[in-house]
């Protein structure tokens, strides 16, 4: 069951993030012809998965899936990048993890801790908007960043 209040918190957080980031496309953009034409020119690879449309560019990937439910139209729900060309709240790969954590916490994101032994992912959330800052081992430098507006599709959930 969809929690409308949490969904509104998520959508407000996404709007704020889109205004303060450079991600190529706004998170929760509707999958429509104007975006498809532009993104096809930028991407090296496209994968039409059963429940999503995945695009892989130069140092960035964009995944469109049903939001908030599978039956919904596809929206941009996931972005991952390792290129310094992109940023979220000014945070980009190559930045120091400590400074980046402070930025997200000041923006009202809750520090959810770490996951994965191989990669150190520092996970932050505001509603169902999740930002993961990923470093290798105990390195203090961000190697890549994952951004996700969680959906009710179980395939993209982090456990």
Q: Is the pLDDT higher at 90 or at 116?
A: 90
Residue 84 lies in domain: 4-149
Q: Is the pTM of this model over 0.75?
A: yes
**Confidence at residue 137, expressed as pLDDT on a 0 to 100 scale:** 67
**Confidence at residue 113, expressed as pLDDT on a 0 to 100 scale:** 81
d(CA 73, CA 114): 32
Average pLDDT over residues 111-116: 77
For residue 158, being part of any structural domain is answered with no
Q: What is the pLDDT of residues 31-88, one digit of tens each?
A: 999 898 888 888 889 888 778 899 998 899 999 998 887 777 899 999 999 999 999 9
Which residues have C-beta within 8 Å of that of residue 13, sequence separation ≥ 6? 108, 126, 127, 129
Look at the chain and report how many structural domains it folds into: 1
For residue 155, being part of any structural domain is answered with no
Q: What angle do CA 72, 64, 29 make, to 5 degrees?
A: 80
For residue 159, being part of any structural domain is answered with no
């Amino acid at each position: 069951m969809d929690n409308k209040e949490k969904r509104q918190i998520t959508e407000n957080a996404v709007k704020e993030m889109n205004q303060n980031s450079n991600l190529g496309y706004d998170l929760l953009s509707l999958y429509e012809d104007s975006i498809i034409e532009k993104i096809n020119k930028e991407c090296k690879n496209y994968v039409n998965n059963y429940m999503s449309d995945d695009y892989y560019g130069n140092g960035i990937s964009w995944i469109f899936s049903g939001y908030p439910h599978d039956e919904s139209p596809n929206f941009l729900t996931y972005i991952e990048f390792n290129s310094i060309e992109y940023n979220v709240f000014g945070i980009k790969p190559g930045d120091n993890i400590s400074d980046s954590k402070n930025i997200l916490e000041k923006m009202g994101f809750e520090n959810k801790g770490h996951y994965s032994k191989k990669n150190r992912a520092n996970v932050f959330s505001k509603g169902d908007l999740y930002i993961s800052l990923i470093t290798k081992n105990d390195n203090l430098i961000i190697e890549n960043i994952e951004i996700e507006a969680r959906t009710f599709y179980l395939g993209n959930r982090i456990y």
